[in-house]
Amino acid sequence: MLPTFVRSTPDGTETGDFLALDLGGTNFRVLLVRVSGNGKQKVEMENQIYAIPENIMRGSGTELFDHIAECLANFLEKLGIKDKKLPLGFTFSFPCLQTKLDESFLVSWTKGFKASGVEGRDVVGLLRKAIKKRGDFDIDIVAVINDTVGTMMTCGYDDHHCEIGLIVGTGTNACYMEEMRHLELVDGDEGRMCVNMEWGAFGDDGSLDDIRTEFDREIDAGSLNPGKQLFARRLNKMVRLLVPDCDVRFLRSEDGSGKGAAMVTAVAYRLAKQHAERQRILNTLRLNRDQLLEVKKRMEEEMNRGLAKKTHATATVKMLPTFVRSTPDGTERGDFLALDLGGTNFRVLLVRVRSGKRRSVEMHNKIYTIPQDITQGTGEELFDHIVHCIADFVEYMGMKGASLPLGFTFSFPCHQTQLDQGILIKWTKGFKASGCEGEDVATLLKDAIHRSEDFDLDVVAVVNDTVGTMMTCGYEDPQCEVGLIVGTGTNACYMEEMSNVELVDGDEGRMCVNMEWGAFGDRGELDDLCTEFDRAVDDQSTYPGKQRYEKMISGMYLGEIVRNVLLDFTAKGLLFRGKLSERLKTRGIFETKFLSQIESDRLALRQVRSILQHLGLTSSTCDDSILVKEVCSVVSKRAAQLCGAGLSAVVDKIRLNRGLEKLSITVGVDGTLYKLHPHFATIMRETLKDLAPNCEVTLVQSEDGSGKGAALITAVACRLRDAGK
């Protein structure tokens, strides 16, 4: 069971001129194989048979390889291609221990060969040496293969299901494509590799003695290597009898050891070329440290521009004051309603906050869907629907008639001039209801409540989900002064010095600033990092040109970036054998949760395949699965690094605001992408550590910031209001 380092069978796109040497049968041959792929799939061959005299077969290894080089020179001369340096595949059909595609150590001679000083040596090295010694021509030895492998590869060129090679001639042997994870001799678990079984030696330990006859023993005793190579029987019919569950087709392979060697070389060439092309494309999605530092620097600049009155209007990172001036102190109490709009679902919550010894937060909530036609309809329809849901919830909780204080988590960029007011700047995350931008959402909500004439509510606070996230975490951990969301969209908030918040009067204390950092890049700050895939995703989005940073990071877009890369790879023939499926052309079909699935789990390849099957890519190979996985991890890594770079700017700003050498701070984080992706949090943490080494940042998962957080903000506001009365 020897690894051969042949990792793929032909896909029919191979093309070029290849040389092959075939040593191991009765004859020694040199071949020139012309492969023309891309539709034509034609293979033409020229070949010349050379004899290997008995004395050379049994002489010294040097003599043998000098002879081979001599024959090769003669062949090249004859065809007039001596100056071409063509790639060559070397079929060497003896038991070898292969360590690379082009490195193979002869274990022991068989089939009458006995040349001295070759066993235990790398035969490619010996051949290269012999050629170099002559100095009259040069070739590129790409692969050394066994004739069984050649047989499989030759058939594989015409039949993509051919994954077994079998020889029954002078000797017998077989090879097949084995899963890498079963191949403990070679590092790596992914994909497949052809294994040369060397099954001829089966029985050498006596395991076939009970079925050997005296004739077998006589033949064995008279052979060159007595005790070896017992198993030489034809099995074809038996196979069908013994494994009735497998539909095995036997294809006669023509000239596997010649054409096959060229084919292995051609495949290796194709793989190398395709690999280089794929990496070139993926490299556009990879960021180095300098680029990340640059992102941090530009984020810092935009933050300052957003905070300053003079530059606020043109800043992409809006740094919106939230009028939340402090985190909870534990004395808050009462029943509150909370609305959560802006995520995947719309929710209504009842939150009971208790203070003192029984300090706790208890929540009841109900999820409502907002149909797509309502998110894209009129503002009135949207808010009537919301009020309808509230009425249903209040009734459901048996609280009809109570007028509770309400916190409205509205996770879209809003201008606030006071806590209970939020003027929608622009819709994001797929919402498009008309007549809302530029309006106060609290007023829109109150108007809808009045229209319903059903109940009354006291809208106390308009809350952004990042702020809710920070407040929820802050209820447990007073060091929590940053909130971060990485879900459908991405955003962050933090406690900024009032003296820096120029949009609000007063210099005392701090105020939470809703950064709205998703729009970072909208002035072109990220253009040099954007790839054609980012541009494609942006073009196809609901608001092209907007939320550029978010579109490189958040759950709504990562799957789409991956899908666009896969489309490009397929169109370039680098994936799925160049066959585009209709489903993959469908926007949104590659969900971001697939990235999490594909990038986790030991059995990932199987999962990748089932996901690809779901995408209608039933003929995907395992190489395809490996590549899809690589694309996913490149895209999610970039997202986590970009997010980490942004956050490093935030924590370093807080540190400098306070004139500290070192800052210890907690970030409350929410969002399904952050929570469920197997590597996002780790990569983000590493990036932070690297880019903001003077900040000791603790990332804490925040549970239900938009519900609990909204209630806490409302509770704090009620406490302050009551105290003021």
**Binding ligand ADP by CB under 6 A: which of 677, 683, 688, 695?**
677
Residue 542 sits in the site that holds ligand ADP (CB under 6 A): no
- Residue 25 is classified by DSSP as S
**Binding ligand ADP by CB under 6 A: which of 48, 541, 542, 672?**
672
Closest residue by beta carbon to ligand ADP: 487
Q: Output the six-digit token pair for 367.
A: 């999820």
HSE-CB at 316 with a 13 A cutoff on CA atoms is 22
Query: What does the CA dihedral 236, 238, 241, 243 come to, rounded to 10 degrees?
Result: -70
Active site annotation includes 719 = no
Give the amino acid at 430.
G
Residue in 104, 411, 581, 636 annotated catalytic: 411
Residue in 465, 534, 670, 704 annotated catalytic: 465
- Structural contact between residues 409 and 709, judged by C-beta atoms closer than 8 angstroms: yes
Residues 6+ apart with CB under 8 A from 297: 649
- Structural contact between residues 568 and 281, judged by C-beta atoms closer than 8 angstroms: yes
Task: Using the minimum distance from each CB to ligand ADP, give the nearer residue, 359 or 593.
Answer: 593
Residues 6+ apart with CB under 8 A from 308: 315, 502
User: Which residue's structure tokens are 């040389």?
Assistant: 19
Pick the stretch among 446-454, 626-634, 672-680, 687-695 that binds ligand ADP (CB under 6 A): 672-680
Active site annotation includes 465 = yes
Residue 437 CB, shortest distance to ligand ADP, in Å, is: 20
HSE-CB at 568 with a 13 A cutoff on CA atoms is 18
- Residue 378 is classified by DSSP as B
Pick the stretch among 140-148, 201-209, 627-635, 673-681 that binds ligand ADP (CB under 6 A): 673-681
Task: Using the minimum distance from each CB to ligand ADP, give the nearer residue, 294 or 591.
Answer: 591
- Could you give the C-alpha distances from 694 to 641, 662, 664, in angstroms and in order? 18, 5, 9
Residues 475-504: x/- map of binding to ligand ADP (CB under 6 A)? Answer: ------------xx----------------
Give 394-423 as a 3 state SS string: HHHCCCCCCCCEEEEEECCCEECCCCCCCE
Task: Using the minimum distance from each CB to ligand ADP, give the nearer residue, 253 or 428.
Answer: 428
- Residue 24 is classified by DSSP as S
Active site annotation includes 606 = no
State how far the Cα of 128 lies from the Cα of 120, in Å rounded to an integer: 16
Residue in 270, 298, 305, 347 annotated catalytic: 347
The interface with ligand ADP within residues 344-363 (CB under 6 A) comprises: 344
- Could you give the C-alpha distances from 443 to 6, 379, 436, in angstroms and in order? 68, 12, 10
State how far the Cα of 461 lies from the Cα of 711, in Å rounded to an integer: 9
**Binding ligand ADP by CB under 6 A: which of 555, 644, 646, 668?**
555
Residues 564-603: x/- map of binding to ligand ADP (CB under 6 A)? Answer: ---------------------------xxx--x-------
Residue 706 CB, shortest distance to ligand ADP, in Å, is: 7
Query: What does the CA dihedral 420, 423, 429, 431 come to, rounded to 10 degrees?
Result: 110
**Binding ligand ADP by CB under 6 A: which of 88, 556, 622, 681?**
556
617 three-state secondary structure: coil
Give the pairing of strands 16-23 and 87-92: parallel
Pick the stretch among 208-216, 269-277, 644-652, 667-675 that binds ligand ADP (CB under 6 A): 667-675
* DSSP element (H, E) containing 510: strand 510-514
User: Which residue's structure tokens are 């060697």?
Assistant: 261
Q: At residue 18, what are phi and psi to the nearest 5 degrees?
A: -135, 145
Tell me the longest C-alpha to C-alpha distance in the chain.
113
Radius of gyration of the chain (CA): 35
42 three-state secondary structure: strand
Q: Output the six-digit token pair for 653.
A: 């700003």
Residues 6+ apart with CB under 8 A from 289: 690
Q: Output the six-digit token pair for 115.
A: 């040349």
Task: Using the minimum distance from each CB to ligand ADP, give the nearer residue, 165 or 487.
Answer: 487
State how far the Cα of 194 lies from the Cα of 622, in Å rounded to an integer: 13
State how far the Cα of 236 lies from the Cα of 169, in Å rounded to an integer: 13
Residue 156 sits in the site that holds ligand ADP (CB under 6 A): no
Residue 556 CB, shortest distance to ligand ADP, in Å, is: 5
Residue 671 sits in the site that holds ligand ADP (CB under 6 A): yes
Give the pairing of strands 96-100 and 103-106: antiparallel
Residue 674 CB, shortest distance to ligand ADP, in Å, is: 8
User: Which residue's structure tokens are 């899908």?
Assistant: 563
519 three-state secondary structure: helix
**Which stretches of the chain bind ligand ADP, using CB under 6 A?**
343-344, 487-488, 555-556, 591-593, 596, 671-673, 676-677
Active site residues: 347, 411, 465
